[in-house]
Structure 1
């Protein structure tokens, strides 16, 4: 800040002027920093996401339907259709189902071989470890497609065009 006192004038009042040059310098430096930093923060991968809320499930008789909930004692309860299965029984059934389906379609040499899918319905309150364990078991058994079945939002399905 600068201050002038007296001079040629006859008034005894001090004259005070604010030197705005340092303030402008600081503001310009901050503006330059923000102009450089904002594009770095806003870099994203350009994606075009599908305008679909969910895809309708193609239910085939060979697909496996698993339901996962929490048992009253707090453990994971996995159901193959409607019968409760343990971890080892789930893997054994999945391997047997896959082998039977491959044999039914003419073996692995069949070029039109369509493997069954595993559809998992998980309760909202189930811990992630329960669902993750079922996914891992089904993939280890040989199921290439493991998907989730969810409740559609109100308003119905949006169909892809």
Structure 2
């Protein structure tokens, strides 16, 4: 251990230089961290699948999907969640021939909900999709008498 020079009064300093000790401890800490095996903790849980409600009717020709002003999604008049909608759309996709899906969002429904429903429809792979009730989105109406 090295002794450093003294102070102004000429006496030697009797303190140990701890810098090399700290350097060695840091190197040992890094080596210890590198050699620790990666811990992988996994908890296997069987989550329940959200299946279509039992009272949902899937018509063979056309089905109507409505988003109302309360942001409720309805399949042929029966309220469903987005997860249930994905299951129903998968069921219709497997039908031969595939029934037409008529999508009718209310003009006062939140855009976010309508957009999420459209994403569910797109991901399901539905090929027969029609928008119903587009006249409610008209930006102007004819004046009376014209």
The TM tier, using the shorter chain, reads 0.3 to 0.5
Structure with bigger RCO (C-alpha 8 Å, 6+ apart)? 1
